[in-house]
Chains A and B, each alone.
Chain A
């Protein structure tokens, strides 16, 4: 008899959990309904843009807030990793809820453009962006740029000891002294660039050397942390990982420093984060407006201030970074032509066994 008593006690517990769940679920529906109906009643413009965002979240949200304030158009942001979001859009096809996709690198944009899923951006909107930083057919545009750099720990290695070319890291003498992130988009762009300029064989040899000698990380930030903590002498990363931390902590509190090769070397390659408008979007005009704002001086200033990347609109200024004009990116690597979709780089990564 007693056991029954306990069972009923537990049943009561169980059913209250059930009930809680259902109530919670209902509560949420209510909330959603309210959200959906509210704009219809109050606003003339019910449009809400949806942006699939793989770029720096805080910067993008700040941009969205400023845009909404200026135009009254609401924007919802769906965060994720750039390539996963692009995959999701491919799966969604014509029915994609996304109006805009904004990605870390241009590769996903080029893939979407190749599949004919992006619509043309207005010529006037693209005006402030130099031609080399946007698609020739106007299907996507670069928004921000950043430089590949070497972060190094001066306690472990002096600037003089660092090589004169990023290609030298493949040499035996660098064994165990540096880290790289083979799965990062920027690294792949760098590899694609090397394939384009020096040919597949040189690229493969370099990659094999890096695999043999270097330590791999999954994230640029983790590689930088390893340098900061003195676990490894140097790491191949993007400038903004270091700059953001330097802005937050103060540059004098950083254990590591940035090294630029300064000789139009592949190691100083500039890569671009960009955005495009989905052809399937029913809000083409509003989406155009959003990109226009993201490219405008005002929008670009917000983005660069928060994310420590270089604005592509020359009117906006990146304050705490090494001046964009002083960067010496390698020649002929902005438009990678047939290698821009990254497939050749991918094949090499697979062949070498890094993927």
Chain B
């Protein structure tokens, strides 16, 4: 304590304490702000090529209204269903004595390993009635709810059991406790997942093309596919950005200013788990149905194609080279994204303020843009200002970071919200440098969140298609590209080996991700 005060006296400019934003945080954040602004500049540039009148004509037409309705309907419905499913599965897996939870946790996270465009064409190939709104809601909910399940499960794990126990001891029932104590505590995790899903829905393309459901993003792709002045697409993108701002505004309103950290994790002991009793069988049935719909159907279809398909060939060289580039891009991109996400999250949580909020929200804003727009923006700027990097792996990885930063942010943020700043302050008072504090105090505490972030970004990059097509070095194929090449010719059987391999390797990070929580518990 004494040392703390002498430090303060020696460096009077530090008086504002932790509120001052250190330069080592600001620099990377500024770089990010510039990178993330590129797509917005690009859209403004393209949109300004036509006059105001033409622009208004392009925005205020019936088709745009139709698209708006379609997009909002899809985003809201999928997000609600995903939250419902994700919170439920997370609660059962973390808080009850559900038989085989270890395996269930892996299984319910597994849909995340199946690219939505793969599952959409497997549903369509079974029955074409899955086209349109209801099919889109079904397929997209099933492939996106893990975005809620994962952070909520992590939050439940990190939650001090004493909170719920205190509530019970004060006379609240289990249900009341869930709604009054548990759920509010889960708010950052639920919101983090929900906003990601809503923004995903704005930018989703591949599966919606198969499901024949039009949104802004599919319309933007159509525009690029047929038109050459980019202006019409830019105007649609504009509307998309406005929509995204509204979503982000709603999220911020709900998030509020509440803090969720507690000083000390409480005694490191097992939380009381709920005995399901005769609810065990229905719960297991529910999990099974979910698993069949989300994992069984796409895997079953792929297996069917592998066995029966005439166009299925195993080109081992192609398979292994596209596997190699998929893994390289995935790992490199995930690491880069996480490195970018740290300073953003620290700034947003520990140095709240206008700039921090804007910097923190900007990647989310960009997240609602179709990969095509981000890809074209990076192409345009790299060609002009960084040509040696054009069509090289570093630029592609930067593209991934811009695209998927929010996934890393929300995972790290959810974990960090639960880390009390007092711990870092104590370390600071003991004379540790900020970076040392980060590595010795903060990082170990948020390690689960970081792990989740890496896995999420890794998974998404492996599934990414449009930006990869634009930014990759010529001649390098990823698994997703091979799948796209074959499915766009409707050679489903030929795509099957690549799809199977993609799902298989995606299963690995999913498994690691879920396994960790249980080793923790067993020995804890």
Task: List chain A positions with a Cβ less than 8 A from chain B.
Answer: 2-7, 9-11, 13-14, 17-18, 20-22, 24-25, 27-29, 32, 50, 56-57, 76-81, 83-84, 86-88, 90-93, 95, 97, 108, 111, 183, 185, 188, 216-219, 221-222, 224-226, 229, 231, 248-249, 341-343, 346, 349-350, 353, 355
Contacts and interface: CB of A to CB of B under 8 A. Distances in A.
24 contacts: A2-B268, A3-B268, A6-B520, A13-B451, A14-B451, A14-B454, A21-B332, A22-B335, A24-B328, A24-B332, A28-B324, A28-B325, A77-B475, A84-B470, A87-B228, A90-B228, A95-B383, A97-B474, A218-B209, A225-B490, A248-B310, A342-B226, A350-B63, A355-B63
A306 B459 CA distance: 35
Contacts of B443: 11
B53 interface: no
A280 to B, nearest CB: 11
B108 interface: no
B259 interface: no
A353 B214 CA distance: 12
Interface residues of B, number: 63
Contacts of B274: none
A22 B390 CA distance: 21
Given A3-B524, A6-B523, A83-B224, A14 B447 contact: yes
Interface of B is mostly: helix
Contact of B331 (A21, A29, A221, A355): A21
Contacts of B223: 355
A248 B311 contact: yes
A344 to B, nearest CB: 12
Contact of A183 (B226, B232, B268, B325): B226
Interface in B312-343: 324-325, 327-328, 331-332, 334-335
B376 interface: yes
Nearest to A105: B226
Interface of B: 61-63, 66, 128, 209-210, 212, 218-219, 222-228, 230, 232, 265, 268, 310-311, 324-325, 327-328, 331-332, 334-335, 372, 376, 379-380, 383, 387, 390-391, 393, 443-444, 447-448, 450-451, 454, 469-470, 473-475, 481, 485, 488-490, 512, 516, 519-520, 523-524
A20 B331 contact: yes
Given A21-B331, A87-B224, A76 B520 contact: no
Please indicate which of the listed interface residues B225, B334, B516 has the most CB atoms of chain A within 10 Å of its own CB.
B225
Given A22-B335, A80-B469, A83-B224, A218 B212 contact: yes
A20 B509 CA distance: 13
A68 B225 CA distance: 31
A341 B218 CA distance: 23
B510 to A, nearest CB: 14
Please indicate which of the listed interface residues B62, B490, B523 has the most CB atoms of chain A within 10 Å of its own CB.
B490
Contacts of A248: 310-311
B129 to A, nearest CB: 9
A334 to B, nearest CB: 20
B338 to A, nearest CB: 9
A81 B383 contact: no
Contacts of A188: 226
B475 A76 contact: yes
